[in-house]
A and B are shown apart, each in its own frame.
Chain A
Amino acid sequence: MNLAFWFFSATAILAAFLCITRRSPVASALWLITTLFNVAALFVLLDAHFLAAVQVLVYAGAIMVLFLFVIMLLNLTERDPGDRGGWWPNKIIGAAVGIALVVELFVLRRAVPPAALVRPPGSAARAVAEQGAVRVLSVPLFQAYLVPFEITSLLLLAAVVGAVVLAKRRI
């Protein structure tokens, strides 16, 4: 288990790094897909089986495909001089901020949640074993979080309409 965890997390990080540093948008997209797959694997290891599946289906399968569609629609190649040059301190600033962020997050990682909220260890795995991965997610979703669920559906409607309107040549 540990080995799997290390493997998947290392791959995810490597793929993410490659994603942000490639010149070609297509390469970036593909590396991002790799990252998403690895994160899905991590989900499985963390007892969120359903979410892993959703991640692969929705994120890697739909969203990234959409990205690739748009990249190819706009015909962006690496010969596009747009990304070249630029203000070089930007890179330094970016790197510095990134490192600072990592450091801060590592420090904050030590934060401890209130004791009242903490479940006994292993309860998550047990819940999945008892109810099944889907039920663990769906029961709260359709009971406690019903209203956000409905609102999210409206949000999706709005997004669809908006995307169509924005991308049309002539309204």
Chain B
Amino acid sequence: MNPLAGTAADLVGLTVLLPFLGFLVNGALAFLRPQAKRTVSVVGVGSVALSFVLGVFVFLAVLGARPEEPYVRTLWTWMPVGDLRIAAALQVDQLSVVMLLVVTGVGALIHLFSVGYMGDDPGYARYFAYLNLFIAFMLVLVLSASFPVMFIGWEGVGLCSYLLIGFWYADVEKAEAGLKAFLVNRIGDTGFMIAMFLIFAQLGTLDFVAAAPAAAQHFARGSGAVTAIALLLFLGCVGKSAQIPLYVWLPDAMAGPTPVSALIHAATMVTAGVFLVARANVFFALAPVAAAVVAAVGAVTALFAATIGLKQWDIKKVLAYSTVSQLGYMFIGVGAGAYAAGMFHLVTHAFFKALLFLGSGSVIHAMHAAYHHTHSHADAQDMRNMGGLRAHLPVTATVMWVATLAIAGIPPLAGFFSKDEILLAAFTRGAQDPLYYGVWVLGLAGALLTAFYMTRLMLYTFHGPNRTGDLERPHLHESPAVMTAPLVALAVLTVLGGAINLPHVASLHRWLEPLTASSAAIAGAPEASTGLELGLMALAVAIAVGGMVLATRLLHPEALLPADRAPAERGFAKLLLEKYRVDEVYDALIVRPVVWVSRVVLWKGLDAGLIDGAGVNGSAALARGLGWIGSRFQTGQLGTYVVVFVLGVLAVFGTLMGLL
């Protein structure tokens, strides 16, 4: 009997239901009475806030009970098919409750921010409907008790991502960005599905609680089957969490409203991949090759995206590539078997990345308002049009500096502890597999660049002279309280968030131990000496500080020109700005051939030519032809009829003779 039975954990289904009801109500309002903004706000924010409160109670229950086994709450039987029984069930354990708090907590803050940010948008009700639906699906994903239920959440958040990226669908580019996100994710989802099929084929079950021990018994360590499963699951993660080679949708996803970018493409949805690896940690522990692939891809992505972020001018694009890069760090963590470290970075990243995005939203809000006054069409998101905004948006500037220090990895902020632990895990795993030393080096290089480009962002946006324009400048002002309050809340979390894994304060590692113990036993948990730990820590701090100092020395914000007058980039800078032209390469290598095959071969060739032409029209022509032949018999001449008649008689005689 699980100690969580009979506690608040029994109500976990309500946390999913509340945002879903919010979606229904707001959706109905979007159709019937879109101008009821106050109701929409209350329902939208309230449902998520209530979910969070409930989540806190669930967390307290778990904290008190410290169950060894996850608590599975079966709501109904979904798919009983032959040997397969899939139940619509939610699972309360240490891992899911962490995600529950993050999703509902950060989600509630972002919902509150949206009240101010999207206040003037005509699609207000629709926005909150979609956002609530997203929270509902995301909770299904993190609270799921089996792979198929998680897949429902997985697909559902993909759908909401599509809806919200293309929220301003009248702009074709924005709509296409949504489509791009959905299609690229689909590639990853195929991997997830095939992995599910293989898991069921090999183990006969798809429930998390049953699959982990079954896998440990069934698969030999390093066997092809479990490696294939792990790699296919990782393919799903590559799509959802925007790693190489499927990251291309995330920068384009910035076409959506900024709170959406904060919630979905920074704090929650993109971290679903990391969550999946943590959930299915046994599979990755059993497949060291796959785990190494995870870490390697994470490391390469971390560095690659960081280089692109160095030269982007759009403030949201910088943050987008930063997200891709930080996700790479999380995968380094879970790939190296340090699931707690990866999850730790996930949580801290949720705080400071959401803060960064919301802060940028605050900036963009102010820039929009200023340009609106002068009817200018300049780009409100281009950093070359900003500068010196510290004077106009002091609160935003302060909290964003907090977040920047966190992401750069300056102690004692949260980001320092999480990033440091990941790099430590990679380094110690290197003793088992030297590949991880390379991973560690790439991670360190990425940390340097992270510090650099984030400082660059802050310098260009908030410091130096203001380039917005003399007419616009008086209209730049700080955001209203409904927007700055969540910013401050997130800043507090960013500062204090490190406490959840601080030695002698709390230990996320010990917290997650019931779920990761078997993996640690299989894959080994390399320990590092305290000396090594401190040494690496010092190195990381030095890198972070060095990156920031380098940025202040090398960059000259006063030399920048506004976007419309700025000189074009050249050389390597141009390559970085154009993100290594990866999208163009994909277009030429993959998209164009597929479109060509679809249009020429499949559409014109098969569909129009073969099926329509030969099949449908052809059979009609055949019938017509046969009919024409038949009609030639009806000459009206008796002579013809007699001939045919006699031929029939001959045929009958022939059969009598046995000839025919």
A171 at the interface (CB under 8 A from B): no
What A residues does B647 contact at CB under 8 A?
97
Pick the interface stretch among B64-72, B161-169, B649-657: B649-657
Cα distance A94–B643 in the bound complex, in angstroms:
8
Which of B646, B647, B649, B654: most chain A CB closer than 10 A?
Answer: B646
> Does B535 reach chain A (CB closer than 8 Å)?
no
Cα A107 to Cα B646 with chains together (Å): 17
Q: Give complex CA distance A93, B643 in Å.
A: 8
Q: Is the interface of A mostly helix, strand, loop or mixed?
A: helix
In the complex, B503 has a CB within 8 A of chain A: no
Q: Does B639 contact A (CB under 8 A)?
A: yes
Q: Do A90 and B639 form a contact, CB below 8 Å, given A97-B647, A101-B650?
A: yes
**List of A residues within 8 angstroms of B646 by Cβ:** 97, 101
In the complex, whether A118 has a CB less than 8 A from a CB of chain B is: no
Query: How far, in angstroms, from A97 to B653 measured CA to CA in the complex?
Result: 12
Interface bits A92-119 vs B (CB < 8 Å: 1, else 0) = 0110010011001101100000000000
Name, among A93, A97, A104, the residue most crowded by chain B CB atoms within 10 Å (CB to CB): A104
Among candidates A97, A100, A101, A107, residue contacting B643 with C-beta atoms closer than 8 Å:
A97
- Roughly how many angstroms separate A94 CA and B646 CA in the complex, as a whole number? 10
Residues of B close to A108: CB separation below 8 A: 653, 656-657
Q: For the complex formed, measure the closest distance between the CB of B47 and the CB atoms of chain A, giving whole angstroms.
A: 89
Q: Chain A residues near B653: list those with CB within 8 A.
A: 101, 104-105, 108
Chain A, Cβ-Cβ closest to B652: A104
Tell me the B607-660 residues at the A interface (CB within 8 Å): 639, 643, 646-647, 649-650, 653-654, 656-657
In whole angstroms, what is the CA distance A104 to B646 when docked?
Answer: 13
CA A97 to CA B657, docked complex, whole Å: 16
Taken together as a complex, chains A and B put the C-alpha atoms of A88 and B650 apart, in Å, by 22
- What chain B residues lie within 8 Å of A104 (beta carbons)? 650, 653-654, 657
Residues of A within 8 A of B656 (CB): 108
Give min CB distance, A106 to chain B, whole Å.
Answer: 10
Q: Judging by beta carbons under 8 Å apart, are A100 and B657 in contact?
A: no
* Bound-complex Cα distance A107 to B650 (A): 12
- Measured CB to CB, the nearest residue on chain B to A93 is B643
Contacts of B643 in A (CB 8 A): 93-94, 97
Q: Given contacts A108-B656, A108-B657, is CB(A97)–CB(B639) below 8 Å?
A: no
Q: Which residues of B contact A97 (CB under 8 A)?
A: 643, 646-647, 650
CB neighbours of A90 from chain B (8 A) = 639
Residues of chain B with a CB closer than 8 A to A93's CB: 643
Assign chain B's interface to a size class.
10 to 19
- Residues of A close to B654: CB separation below 8 A: 104
Query: How many whole Å from B419's CB to the nearest CB in chain A?
Result: 97
Q: Are B639 and A100 in contact (CB under 8 A)?
A: no
Cα distance A105–B653 in the bound complex, in angstroms = 8
**B331 to A: closest C-beta gap in Å:** 85
Q: Which residues of A contact B650 (CB under 8 A)?
A: 97, 100-101, 104
Contact with B along A65-107 (1 / 0, CB 8 A): 0000000000000000000000000100110010011001101
Which residue of the partner chain B has the closest CB to A111?
B656
In the assembly, what is the distance between CA of A106 and CA of B580, in Å? 92
Bound-complex Cα distance A101 to B651 (A): 10
Q: CA of A101 to CA of B643 in the docked complex: distance in angstroms? A: 12
Chain A minimum-CB-distance residue to B654: A104
Give the complex CA separation of A108 and B657 in angstroms. 7
Residue of A with least CB distance to B650:
A100
A27 to chain B: closest CB distance in Å?
Answer: 21
Q: Which residue of B lies closest to A110 (CB)?
A: B657
CB proximity of A107 to chain B, nearest CB, Å: 5
Closest-CB distance, A92 to chain B (whole angstroms): 11
Instruction: Determine the distance from Cα of A104 to Cα of B653 in the docked complex, in whole angstroms.
Output: 7
Q: How far is the CA of A36 from the CA of B191 in the complex (A)?
A: 93
B513-536: which have CB < 8 Å to A? none
Q: Report how far A108 CA is from B656 CA in the complex, Å.
A: 8
A94 to B640 Cα, complex, angstroms: 11
| Bound form: Cα–Cα A3–B518 in Å | 116
Question: In the complex, which residue of chain A has the Cβ closest to the Cβ of B646?
Answer: A97
Closest to A107 in B: B657
B655 to chain A, nearest CB (A): 11
Q: How far is the CA of A105 from the CA of B647 in the complex (A)?
A: 14
A107 and B643 alpha carbons, distance in the complex (Å)? 22
A100 to B657, CA, bound (A): 13
* Nearest chain B residue, comparing its CB with the CB of A104: B653
Q: How far is the CA of A107 from the CA of B653 in the complex (A)?
A: 10
Q: What residues on B are CB-neighbors of A94 within 8 Å? A: 643
In Å, the complex CA distance between A105 and B654 comes to 10
- What residue of chain B has the Cβ atom nearest to residue A98's Cβ? B646
User: For residues 97 through 147 of chain A, which have their beta carbon under 8 Å from a beta carbon of chain B?
Assistant: 97, 100-101, 104-105, 107-108
**For residue A101, which residue of chain B has the nearest CB?**
B650
How far is the CB of B643 from the nearest CB of chain A, in Å? 6
Return A113 CB to nearest CB of chain B, in Å. Answer: 14
B646 to chain A, nearest CB (A): 5
- Kindly state the separation between the CA atoms of A90 and B639 in the bound complex, as whole angstroms: 9
Q: Which residue of A lies closest to B647 (CB)?
A: A97
* Residues of the B chain whose Cβ atoms lie less than 8 Å from the Cβ of A107: 657
* Distance in angstroms between the alpha carbons of A26 and B485 in the assembled complex: 123
User: In the complex, A94 Cα to B642 Cα: how many Å?
Assistant: 10
Q: How far is the CB of A146 from chain B (nearest CB, A)?
A: 32
Known: A93-B643, A101-B653, A104-B650. 18 other contacts (CB 8 A): A90-B639, A94-B643, A97-B643, A97-B646, A97-B647, A97-B650, A100-B650, A101-B646, A101-B649, A101-B650, A104-B653, A104-B654, A104-B657, A105-B653, A107-B657, A108-B653, A108-B656, A108-B657
Q: List 5 A-B contacts (CB under 8 A).
A: A93-B643, A94-B643, A101-B646, A107-B657, A108-B653
Which 9 pairs from chain A and chain B are nearest by CB?
A104-B653, A107-B657, A97-B646, A100-B650, A93-B643, A104-B657, A108-B656, A101-B650, A108-B657
